Amino acid sequence: MAFDRFPSELMLRVVEHSRNDVKVLRRLALASPVFRSQSLRHLFDRVTLSSAYSHHRWIQFVENSPDIAIPHLKILIIESGRYEFATDSSGQLWGDITPHTPQRILDLQPPEISLPNPPINNITTLIWSPLQSPNPHNLTTIAHIVSSLESARNLHVIKARFTSVQQFQWFLSHSGPITFLELHRVALDDEGTGQVQVDDGVDYDLTHLKELRVNSEISIDWVVHHILSTPTALTALSIESPSFLSLHAFRMLLEVVAPSLRSLVIATATISLTDLLRISITGLSEPRSLPQLQDLTIVVPFFDARLDAEVEHSWCTLFVDQFPQASALSCITLMLDVGNVTRLEQLINAPEDKWDKFLRLLLGKIPTSFPHVAQINIHLILDERHTDQEIQGLESMILKSSSSESVQLRVQWETIMDPGRYGHHLPHAMSPMVALALRSRRELPQFE
Q: What is the pLDDT of residues 183-212, one digit of tens each?
A: 988 888 765 444 445 555 567 778 889 999
pLDDT of residue 102: 43
Q: Where residue 292 falls among pLDDT bands split at 50, 70, 90? A: very high
Q: Where residue 117 falls among pLDDT bands split at 50, 70, 90? A: low
- DSSP alpha helix (H) spans, 173-246: 221-222
Would you call 351 exposed, middle or buried from its count of C-beta atoms within 10 A (0-12, 13-18, 19+)? Answer: exposed
CA nearest to 223, candidates 264, 261, 185, 259: 185
pLDDT of residue 158: 84
On average, the pLDDT of the chain sits at 70
Q: Are strands 91-92 and 87-88 parallel, antiparallel or unpaired?
A: antiparallel
How far apart, in whole angstroms, are the C-alpha atoms of residue 442 and residue 213? 16
β-strand partners of 414: 381
Would you call 74 exposed, middle or buried from its count of C-beta atoms within 10 A (0-12, 13-18, 19+)? Answer: buried
- DSSP alpha helix (H) spans, 307-410: 309-321, 341-348, 354-369, 388-399
Cβ atoms of 374 and 367 within 8 Å: the answer is: no
- Better-scored residue on pLDDT, 411 or 93: 411
Q: Where residue 78 falls among pLDDT bands split at 50, 70, 90? A: very low
Assign 158 to helix, strand or coil: strand
Cβ atoms of 74 and 422 within 8 Å: the answer is: yes
Read off the pTM: 0.75
How far apart, in whole angstroms, are the C-alpha atoms of residue 403 and residue 19? 46
Q: Which helix (H) or strand (E) holds 91?
A: strand 91-92
Gyration radius of the chain's alpha carbons:
24
Among 129-143, 192-206, 257-271, 379-393, the least confident range? 192-206
Query: In this structure, what is the dihedral angle of CA atoms 113, 52, 426, 10, given to the nearest 10 degrees?
Result: 70
pLDDT tens digits, 246-285: 777 877 887 788 889 999 998 766 666 666 655 455 555 5
